[in-house]
């Protein structure tokens, strides 16, 4: 087998990169759980017809086929279409299905987090992942869902991402908007193809305001004045409730105040006010946030890393009045999703974050000769029994080589069992020995029944690079 090469779009990390990713996942999970979100996992596949319910995503789906399917002859072409399975491209579609499938056995409002891989059958392009980890939080109600969850969910995510700041993740800022504000404003202007207008406004960052204005006129049939109004709305941003007044004045100047706009402004104002109180500086109203997906009906969120805004949103979501519906009941929800792989790959590529070592091991127990390996095993077992990650040297090489083995892996301590202190002097007792900090060279007598490494050396830590 020739040396294999990476597959474009399918990221993998070396052990120290994976340690960073695992730390990010652990921190997110802990924050979600502190807020009472229950963890679930859904299967990786959904029936193709469910995945294709939203036309826009159809080109991103990986369809599955059993290699021996035709050979088995068990399915006729007509029923195969029903049974066809595809890999999920997000965690929202499977969550909606899970809620419907288990509605009778879940307690609503149901708060769940879900950390899983998703797949998108994209054409390979620079920087686009075809497999990546997402971490989602959602709360879903049966029939109704109070507005205050639209305030809480982005704050939970801000706290989760903020808990990563001490490992070098930049400060986050959550940009919020409200679909009702945009829709109310456009309708007030007389632009009724709200989806179409949002789709053009969503291109602002890519093509700039003039090109968007041209598109609004050419594609949406807007007058130049209507297009100007749309751009003026999109230019409004700010951290305090004054934003609400600015939008209201703008709408009034175009005689475009609607009931829907007022409802949206009420919600947006409440969100900004509560966020400013509970997490000052984190949430910013930004009226150009559109979000492509058509199921958002209230608040919408995007998240940028401060100082790295050009990277785009690392965490997005919003409120949807109908996450799922089984005809009898409707399940409204609100949620956000972090693109963990994208975040981790940026942290690693930018050299912002590192793991103090690539193996869990804190102590390598040296082996004087193969006959005395049981003694080294006993020392390692005693250390592990007290929660100290320990490994035993793979061979009874010269001690210098065993120290090099530890050094190469970043293992901070090497233990020399009693019968074979490095100086050749046996020390009494099977768990007695000497332990060397290979960074400082310090070596001292120690008892494996009680010795502990300093807390900061017990487990690998993920720290800002250069620390």
Site for a copy of itself in 317-376 (CB under 8 A): 324-327, 358-361, 370, 373-374
Maximum alpha-carbon separation in the chain: 93
Residue closer to a copy of itself, measured from CB, 107 or 428: 107
**φ, ψ dihedrals at 319, nearest 5°:** -100, 135
Q: Which of 301, 269, 299 is nearest to 180 (CA)?
A: 299
Kindly determine how many residues on this chain lie close enough to bind a copy of itself according to the rule CB under 8 A: 102
Chain Cα centroid distance, residue 104:
29
DSSP letter at 328 equals S
Interface residue with a copy of itself among 377, 422, 437, 447 (CB under 8 A) is 377
Q: Is 39 in the site for a copy of itself (CB under 8 A)?
A: yes
Q: Is 121 in the site for a copy of itself (CB under 8 A)?
A: yes
Q: Is 54 in the site for a copy of itself (CB under 8 A)?
A: no
Report how far residue 208's alpha carbon sits from residue 220's, in angstroms, rounded to the nearest whole number: 17
Helix (H, G, I), strand (E, B) or coil at 133: strand
Give helix 242-253 / helix 259-278 axis angle, nearest 10°: 160
Stretch of 31-39, 172-180, 184-192, 298-306 contacting a copy of itself, by CB under 8 A: 31-39
Q: Which helix (H) or strand (E) holds 302?
A: strand 299-305
Q: Is 68 in the site for a copy of itself (CB under 8 A)?
A: yes
Q: Is 45 in the site for a copy of itself (CB under 8 A)?
A: yes
Q: Is 457 in the site for a copy of itself (CB under 8 A)?
A: no
Q: Is 36 in the site for a copy of itself (CB under 8 A)?
A: yes
- Name residues contacting a copy of itself, limited to 127-186 (CB under 8 A): 131, 141, 146, 148-149, 152
- The answer to whether 160 and 35 have CB atoms below 8 angstroms apart is no
Interface residue with a copy of itself among 219, 395, 401, 467 (CB under 8 A) is 395
Interface residue with a copy of itself among 162, 238, 389, 464 (CB under 8 A) is 389
Residue closer to a copy of itself, measured from CB, 156 or 212: 156
Stretch of 40-48, 181-189, 249-257, 345-353 contacting a copy of itself, by CB under 8 A: 40-48
Q: Is 64 in the site for a copy of itself (CB under 8 A)?
A: yes
Stretch of 79-87, 172-180, 208-216, 255-263 contacting a copy of itself, by CB under 8 A: 79-87
Min CB(274)–a copy of itself separation in Å: 8
Burial of 372 (0-12, 13-18, 19+ CB in 10 A): middle
Tokens read off for 28: 């997110």
Q: Is 109 in the site for a copy of itself (CB under 8 A)?
A: yes
Q: For residue 35, what are the contacts with CB-CB under 8 A and spacing of at least 6? A: 111, 156, 159
**φ, ψ dihedrals at 7, nearest 5°:** -95, 125
Cα end-to-end span (Å), the chain: 40
Tokens read off for 436: 């060397």
Handedness of CA 347, 337, 121, 296 (dihedral sign): negative
Cis peptide preceding 379, ω within 30 of 0: no
Q: Is 12 in the site for a copy of itself (CB under 8 A)?
A: yes
Min CB(457)–a copy of itself separation in Å: 14
Min CB(158)–a copy of itself separation in Å: 13
- Name residues contacting a copy of itself, limited to 203-262 (CB under 8 A): none
Q: Is 106 in the site for a copy of itself (CB under 8 A)?
A: yes
Q: Is 444 in the site for a copy of itself (CB under 8 A)?
A: no
Tokens read off for 467: 């620390």
Residue closer to a copy of itself, measured from CB, 108 or 254: 108
Q: Which of 297, 243, 251 is nearest to 271 (CA)?
A: 243
Q: Is 82 in the site for a copy of itself (CB under 8 A)?
A: no
Q: Is 398 in the site for a copy of itself (CB under 8 A)?
A: no
Residue closer to a copy of itself, measured from CB, 39 or 307: 39
DSSP labels for 106-147? S-SSEEEEEEEEEE--PPP-TT--SEEEEEEEEEE-SS---T
């Amino acid at each position: 087998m020739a040396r294999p090469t990476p597959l474009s779009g399918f990221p993998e990390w070396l052990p120290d990169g994976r340690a960073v990713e695992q730390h990010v996942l652990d921190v997110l999970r802990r924050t979600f759980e502190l807020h009472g979100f229950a963890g679930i996992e859904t299967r990786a596949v959904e029936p193709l017809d469910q995945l294709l319910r939203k036309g826009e995503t159809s080109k991103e789906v990986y369809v599955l086929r059993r290699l021996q399917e035709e050979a088995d002859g068990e399915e006729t072409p007509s029923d195969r279409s029903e049974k066809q399975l595809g890999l999920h491209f997000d965690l929202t579609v499977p969550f909606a299905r899970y809620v419907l499938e288990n509605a009778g056995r879940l307690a609503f409002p149901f708060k769940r987090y879900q950390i899983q891989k998703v797949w998108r059958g994209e054409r390979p392009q620079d920087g686009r992942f075809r497999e990546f980890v997402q971490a989602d939080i959602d709360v879903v109600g049966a029939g109704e869902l109070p507005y205050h969850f639209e305030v809480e969910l982005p704050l939970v995510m801000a706290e989760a991402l903020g808990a990563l700041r001490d490992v070098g993740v930049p400060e986050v800022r959550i940009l919020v908007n409200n679909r009702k504000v945009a829709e109310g404003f456009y309708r007030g202007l007389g632009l009724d193809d709200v989806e179409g207008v949002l789709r053009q406004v969503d291109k602002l960052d890519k093509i700039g305001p003039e090109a968007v204005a041209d598109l609004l006129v050419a594609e949406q049939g807007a007058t130049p004045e209507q297009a100007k109004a749309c751009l003026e709305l999109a230019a409004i941003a700010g951290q305090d409730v004054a934003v609400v007044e600015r939008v209201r004045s703008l709408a009034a100047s175009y005689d475009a105040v609607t009931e829907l706009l007022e409802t949206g402004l009420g919600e947006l104002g409440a969100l900004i006010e509560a966020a400013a109180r509970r997490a000052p500086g984190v949430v910013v109203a930004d009226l150009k946030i559109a979000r492509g997906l058509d199921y958002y009906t209230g608040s919408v969120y995007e998240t940028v890393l401060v100082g790295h805004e050009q990277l785009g949103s690392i965490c997005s979501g919003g409120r949807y009045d109908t996450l799922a519906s089984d005809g009898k009941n409707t399940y409204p929800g609100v949620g956000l999703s972090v693109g963990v792989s994208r975040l981790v790959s940026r942290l690693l590529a930018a050299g912002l974050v590192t793991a103090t070592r690539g193996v869990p091991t804190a102590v390598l127990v040296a082996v004087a000769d193969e006959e005395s390996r049981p003694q080294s095993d006993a020392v390692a077992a005693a250390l592990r029994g007290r929660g100290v990650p320990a490994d035993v040297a793979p061979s009874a090489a010269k001690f210098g080589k065993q120290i090099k083995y530890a050094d190469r892996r970043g293992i901070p301590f090497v233990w020399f069992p009693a019968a074979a202190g490095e100086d050749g002097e046996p020390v009494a007792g099977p768990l007695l020995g000497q332990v060397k900090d290979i960074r400082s060279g310090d070596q001292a007598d120690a008892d494996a029944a009680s010795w502990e490494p300093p807390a900061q050396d017990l487990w690998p830590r993920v720290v800002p690079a250069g620390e």
